[in-house]
C-alpha cells in the first residue's frame, strides 16, 4: 500500500487509508480459517483437507456469482 501512496493520487490514498483503518477486521476471517484448518488437520488427511478447502472456495465463489 505504501507504493500506492507514492502515486500521490488523493482518491487512491483515501482508499489505502480506509484499508489500513480496517485491516484488523479484514484479517479476522483469515485467523478463524487458520484455526479451523488446524483443528481439521488433526482428523483429516492433508489431501482431504485440501479438497474440503477447494470445495468451500468453489461454493463461496459460486454464491458470489449468483
Is the pLDDT at 48 greater than 80, yes or no? yes
CA dihedral 27, 46, 48, 35 (to 10 degrees): -30
What the block records as the C-alpha cell of 23 is 485491516
Sign of the dihedral defined by the CA atoms of residues 45, 47, 49, 55, in that order:
negative
Give Cα 37 to chain centroid, integer Å: 14
Nearest alpha-carbon partner for 9 in 26, 20, 1: 1
Nearest alpha-carbon partner for 19 in 42, 38, 1: 1
Is the pLDDT at 46 greater than 90, yes or no? yes
Q: Could you read off the pLDDT of 6-43 as tens digits, one per residue?
A: 888 889 999 999 999 988 887 888 888 899 999 999 99
Amino acid at each position: 500500500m505504501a507504493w500506492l501512496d507514492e502515486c500521490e493520487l488523493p482518491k487512491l490514498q483515501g482508499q489505502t487509508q480506509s484499508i489500513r483503518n480496517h485491516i484488523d477486521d479484514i484479517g479476522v476471517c483469515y485467523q478463524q480459517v487458520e484455526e479451523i484448518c488446524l483443528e481439521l488437520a488433526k482428523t483429516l488427511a492433508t489431501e482431504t483437507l485440501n479438497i474440503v478447502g477447494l470445495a468451500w472456495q468453489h461454493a463461496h465463489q459460486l454464491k458470489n456469482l449468483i
